[in-house]
Amino acid sequence: MTLDQLTLDLPHRAALGAEDFLVSSCNLAAVRLIDAWPDWQDPVQLLIGPPASGKTHLARVWQARSGARALTGADLDMSFIKSAGEGTAVVVEDIDRGGYDEKALFHLLNLAREKGLSVLLSSRDAPARLGCALPDLLSRLNGLPVVQIGAPDDALLKTVMLKHFADRQLNIDPKALEFLALRVDRSLAAAALAVAAVDRAALATGRKISRQLIAEALAAAGPSDEGPGG
């Protein structure tokens, strides 16, 4: 089975970077959100998804389309708020990780409506789980329209794993891939870690990838760690 055969029914999004973005049922709403700009019904949009689900890729696509400025926690301060002009586009990723001035984010959300700013926020968690110290900010975040990236479906999970194997110049037959897919947590981060574990086992033993090798590799790797977001 080749990558082209497996991905026949998965549309590709034009890539901004080394990898194509595979569109599936779990991320279609997020892709449509990015494509809908500048005709958003609300100037501020919140994109929620698990680690490695494509939030960062989509943020970069939107940044290229809108000319948005990407703000880190250090950049998001009151001096930026005072300097932001009408029509400014801003992306603030990973607001669940904190490290930003809550007062500044609160004023940014207000300014978006006052001056017609476009703001894209991303997070791994819903606002209620962010632990905001500023009640007014939490209220604003809870009132935002949310687009969520869900867990990958079977087709996307297998396609991503097959691509990881191809990137490592490894071959895997369809039955072994199916065996692996059934034993991986339903996340793209876990899929990447599982492929890495199988790669290590194949290199260490000099064996071809089989269901037995996969079972041994996953047992040795232990519980998956989702790692950094994206």
Q: Check pLDDT > 50 for residue 137.
A: yes
pLDDT digits (tens, 9 = 90+) for 12-63: 444 444 346 788 999 999 999 999 999 999 999 999 999 889 999 999 999 9
Lowest mean pLDDT among 16-25, 51-60, 161-170, 207-216: 16-25
Closest CA to 209 of 219, 199, 221: 199
On whether the CB atoms of residues 106 and 85 are closer than 8 A, the answer is no
What average pLDDT does the structure give for the chain?
87
Q: Check pLDDT > 80 for residue 196.
A: yes
The residue among 226 and 62 whose pLDDT is bigger is: 62
Q: Check pLDDT > 70 for residue 179.
A: yes
Q: Looking at the domain 3-10+151-221, which fold is it?
A: Helicase, Ruva Protein; domain 3 (1.10.8)
Alpha-carbon distance 170 to 208, whole Å? 9
Classify domain 27-148 by CATH number. 3.40.50.300
Q: Name residues whose C-beta falls within 8 Å of residue 22's C-beta, 6 or more positions apart in sequence.
A: 7, 10, 11, 12, 13, 156, 159, 160
Q: Check pLDDT > 90 for residue 112.
A: yes
pLDDT of amino acid 20: 62
Residues in the chain, total = 230
Segment holding 29, helix H or strand E: helix 28-36
Asked if domains 3-10+151-221 and 27-148 share a fold, the reply is no
On whether the CB atoms of residues 40 and 68 are closer than 8 A, the answer is no
pLDDT of amino acid 175: 95
Alpha-carbon distance 49 to 151, whole Å? 8
Of all residues in the chain, the percent with pLDDT exceeding 70 is 88
Closest CA to 123 of 199, 36, 45, 217: 45
Please report, for the chain, the start and end positions of each structural domain, with discontinuous segments joined by +.
Answer: 3-10+151-221, 27-148
